[in-house]
Amino acid sequence: MIKTELNYGDVYLVPKKTVVDSRKSCDTSVQFGPRRFVMPVYPSNMKSVVSAETCEFFARQGWFYTMHRFNVDSVAFTRDMQAKGLFASISVGVNEDTIEQLEALQAAGLQPEYMTLDVANAWCVKAERMIKHIKQHFPNTFLIGGNVATAEAARDLESWGCDAIKAGIAGGRVCITKNKTGFHRPMVSTVRDCVSAVTVPVIADGGIVEHGDIAKALVCGATMIMAGSLFAGYDESAGDIVEIGGKHYKEYFGSASQFNKGAYVNVEGKKILVEYKGSMGKLLRELQEDLQSSVSYAGGDCLSALREVEMIQVYR
């Protein structure tokens, strides 16, 4: 039997009685690991989305972030962020260079507050070894593991030691894994499966097209949401501005693309041009206002109200 699964665009949320006088009084903050953040959404740890400057911008706004892992000096980055009174959130891989990276952090006496094990399919023996290594040597670091797409995989990552799990494979706008390999799961089904299987927070990664998809991911049980294209194209986004025909754009490419790898090997990502959008401040305000509205429609005054919302399938 072939199962039917759902994406964010296949579902909507049923309104409940609003109990607040103003949606502005709705609290969108979320506790995630050792810190509380203004919003439960943050930019993808992709070279074409975040830079050190992007990360500092988000941290100063009270939002979560994760620096990407490509040609990054983790010691310098961690030291710099912590010296500024901010928090350090870095990404690591599963190969030998990661061990060297971790040893350098230890030698410098540095412990990032957050670390993301970032691989295409974290349900693998190399990820298991690295997760256990990190938890042994960085016991006070909040470890996010990903990505996975099934309940069984999520359970394994929790048992290996992850403090949070990133769910979603091949759901991003510049990811072509599903085209190249045939593997993918729609995000509503992925998030609900993973959330039901673990006790640690789940991050819904990929597939955010509209602002309302953030509320849908929270209704599915996600604690945090990661988005790439949503945050691409701004002054504070990574990447250079490109002018074509009098219009300005910024490049946005997948981590598994040739533009990130530097060679056409095992390519599962592509590059697109995103229209230049100016300062990101307006986006952050709008995202918070829209989520405050979602909370008011959910019949509450904080994000926990979204856990009780009915989700319905629609046919497009």
Catalytic residue IDs: 175
Could you give phi then psi for residue 7, rounded to 5 degrees? Answer: -110, 175
Secondary structure letter of residue 234 according to DSSP = B
User: From the CB of residue 94, how many other CB atoms can be counted at a distance below 10 Å?
Assistant: 20
202 carries a ligand binding annotation: yes
Q: Residue holding tokens 């230049």?
A: 276
- Would you state the structure tokens that stand for residue 34, as one six-digit string? 């050792």
Find out whether 225 is annotated in a ligand binding site: yes
Helix H or strand E segment including 180: helix 177-181
Check whether 208 is labelled as a binding-site residue: yes
Asked whether residue 256 is marked as a ligand-binding residue, the answer is: no
- With beta carbons less than 8 A apart as the criterion, state whether 49 and 272 touch: no
309: tokens are 């919302």
**Rg for the chain, CA atoms, rounded:** 19
204 annotated as a binding-site residue:
yes
* 215 annotated to bind ligand: yes
Nearest to 168 by CA among 2, 8, 52, 3: 8
Question: Known binder of ligand: residue 222?
Answer: yes
CB atoms closer than 10 angstroms to residue 95: 12
206 assigned ligand-binding residue: yes
- Check whether 38 is labelled as a binding-site residue: no
104 in a known ligand binding site: no
216 annotated as belonging to a binding site for a ligand: yes
Enter the tokens of residue 49.
Answer: 């989305």
Amino acid identity, position 142: F
Q: Is 221 annotated as a binding residue?
A: yes
**Helices 96-107, 125-137: inter-axial angle, 10-degree rounding:** 10
Residues flagged as binding site for NADP(+): 202-225
Residues flagged as binding site: 202-225
